[in-house]
Structure 1
Amino acid sequence: MSSNLYNEEPLEWIAEAEQSGERVDKFVTDSIDDQAVSRTQVQEWIKAGAVQIDGKVAKANFKIIEGNHVVLHIPAPEEAAIVPENIPLEVIYEDSDLIVINKKRGMVVHPAPGHSSGTLVNALMYHCKDLSGINGMIRPGIVHRIDKDTTGLLMAAKNDLAHISLAEQLKDHTVTRKYIALVHGNLPHDQGTIDAPIGRDLNDRKLFTVTERNSRNAVTHFHVLERLGDYTVVELQLETGRTHQIRVHMKYIGHPLAGDPVYGRNKTVALKGQALHATLLGFTHPRSGERLEFEMPLPADFEFVLSNLRSR
């Protein structure tokens, strides 16, 4: 296998009966839990020898058979000129190891197709100068993500020591991440846990859904804060961090996020995107060992929506 491939843990899948006959590039594309990865990208990885089937390097025209063990070693990111941009950031905490910011609605976290500039990474590169290099040139410093139209707290690492520590804490579920959301309907329970695996939607690979096929475990805890007629304000705590996890889980239980253009209903609230805010972030400082916790109130547009609902 090519020497320019990552030495990190590979992604692995076992083909199921209904996937028999699929081309390997489609199989891998549908299995990856990352919207930014296109089928064209996967085809390039296959050409580079990054995909193995039952221990052998995959050929581009290979058709999947039930039981195939498919392994992807994600190639190291190609170096790209990510330009630092003087974009205002609301910094909540910063030291020589990490930075915590309050992300605004509409800001993409890192460059991706269609978003080569104006991202949080562009802003961080201007503000911080130094960021960890573990995620390569495209995602320097990025330990976790929140969606473009989700607001709130997000941390980034300035060096590899901090990145490794924060990533391990996320993996061990010792990072506290709480969100506030406005959802459709009146939840029948004041609190509960949604434990349902998430994978790509078979009908649209840009979307995610609760499924047993090529999925990853996903756990979200919820607690009702306020009931507002046909809406409910909910506090959610992530145990895992899958792509679109809260949005998918709330749709799954029949209470999609208000304003969600993808998983929700027709536009019903005055928000440009889903009513979801990362309100609390807690973790252990990678160098000092001190437990840090930050809390951020709802943004003005979210509060405005709630005020209108309360006045009805």
Structure 2
Amino acid sequence: MSHKGNPKRFQNKIIELAVDKDQTLLPFLLEKLSNRSRNSIKSILTRGQASVGGHIQTRHNFPLRPGDKVQIRFGTPAAGTHLQGLTILHEDDDLIVVEKSAGLLTIATDKEKERTAYHQLMDYVREKHPTQRIFIVHRLDRDTSGVMLFAKKKSIQQKLQNHWKDIVLERTYIALVEGEVKKKAGSITSWFKESTTHLVYSSPKPNDGKKAVTHYKVLKSNRKYSLLEVNLETGRKNQIRVHMKDIGHPVVGDKKYGTNNRVIGRLGLHAAVLSFKHPRTGEVLRFLSKMPKVFLKPFA
């Protein structure tokens, strides 16, 4: 019998599903709840609505054995933590991959300590395992949205950071910039330095700072704006923002690096793709985050 027709039917109810063979949690739920979409079932896991043997499980690859009982709580999520501005795309014993909204800090500042991606994820993992921790691998600027990676073990964090160039296979951003970028594809190379006021700037002199290399191609443009696909060869602080300023096409909404343009009401930068080799298993993982529709507003 389909449950789709009456979503309130299972509000705040629990159903129990018996496991009759060795398999992992996501395929099991896809099979047992065949009337629901894959995204719907992933959401059930992300929100902490699935438990095995009384313990909440969010891992897609959590192993099930014959005789296990899987409980699904429909309605209010079982987990107490409500993630604001974050969606979990993947979680295993070593990593959490999330999609971050624009406006959310990665880590605390003097002004904002609690509503950060780091703080929320720390609360989230400790709800299930009180001694669990989260470790920052890389950051997205507050007003940049998209895919981010966190480690759940210090050793995993160190491996990712020490071998970042070898482990990360692709980092692709979408950037909405001012003006018509005439050259349809190109690369920008400079050496980054930072002022005492924490403003990053470019030096054209080789080895005068940290080398930064950015590749771009134009996806769409008119006389006032260009939409770019940007690939990072290096991962320097504010790299795309600085390089776009360098070529005379600052990122829309980027007051720090040269424009007060608020045509989309936010910074025009989105981390669209992150692909990497799992630091423990070697498996290639690739995560995508859809470009916010508002980025197309200047072309309507």
TM-score by length of 2: 0.66
Residue 271 of structure 2 aligns with which residue?
Answer: 278
Residue 102 of structure 1 aligns with which residue?
Answer: 99
Distance 2:159 2:132 in 1: 12
> What is the Cα deviation at residue 132 of structure 1?
8.2
Instruction: Decide which of 282, 288, 298 is 1:289's aligned counterpart.
Output: 282
Residue 186 of structure 2 aligns with which residue?
Answer: 192
Letter in 2 for 1:209: Y
Distance 2:168 2:83 in 1: 31
Q: Say which SS state the counterpart of residue 218 (structure 1) adopts.
A: strand
Letter in 2 for 1:180: I
Any conservation in 1 of the 2:170–2:274 contact (CA below 8 Å)?
yes
| Residue 141, structure 1, aligned to residue 139, structure 2 | no
| Residue 309, structure 1, aligned to residue 295, structure 2 | no
Residue 218 of structure 2 aligns with which residue?
Answer: 224
Unaligned runs of 5+ in 2: 1-79
> What is the Cα deviation at residue 169 of structure 1?
3.4
Residue 206 of structure 1 aligns with which residue?
Answer: 198
Instruction: Decide which of 253, 261, 265 is 1:259's aligned counterpart.
Output: 253
Residue 114 of structure 1 aligns with which residue?
Answer: 111
Displacement over 4 Å in runs of 4+: 130-133
Any conservation in 2 of the 1:92–1:102 contact (CA below 8 Å)?
yes
Question: Identity, % of aligned pairs?
Answer: 37
Letter in 2 for 1:184: E
> What is the Cα deviation at residue 87 of structure 1?
3.1
Instruction: Decide which of 226, 237, 242 is 1:248's aligned counterpart.
Output: 242
Please report the RMSD computed on the Cα atoms of aligned residues, expressed in angstroms: 2.2
Matches within 5 A, 1:50-199: 86-88=82-84, 89-129=86-126, 140-172=134-166, 174-199=168-193
Q: Say which SS state the counterpart of residue 257 (structure 1) adopts.
A: coil
Distance 2:236 2:167 in 1: 13
More strand by share: 2
> What is the Cα deviation at residue 269 of structure 1?
0.8
Distance 1:104 1:227 in 2: 25
Deviates more, 1:185-194 or 1:157-166: 157-166
| Pair 141,257 (structure 1): closer, same or farther in 2 beyond 3 Å | same
> What is the Cα deviation at residue 293 of structure 1?
0.6
State the structure with more CA Rg.
2
Any conservation in 2 of the 1:132–1:160 contact (CA below 8 Å)?
no
> What is the Cα deviation at residue 259 of structure 1?
1.1
Distance 2:118 2:168 in 1: 25
Alignment length, in residue pairs? 215
| Pair 305,242 (structure 1): closer, same or farther in 2 beyond 3 Å | closer
Q: Say which SS state the counterpart of residue 259 (structure 1) adopts.
A: coil
Unaligned runs of 5+ in 1: 1-83, 134-139
Any conservation in 1 of the 2:101–2:145 contact (CA below 8 Å)?
yes
Letter in 1 for 2:299: R
Distance 2:120 2:208 in 1: 35
Q: Say which SS state the counterpart of residue 156 (structure 2) adopts.
A: helix
Distance 2:140 2:230 in 1: 14
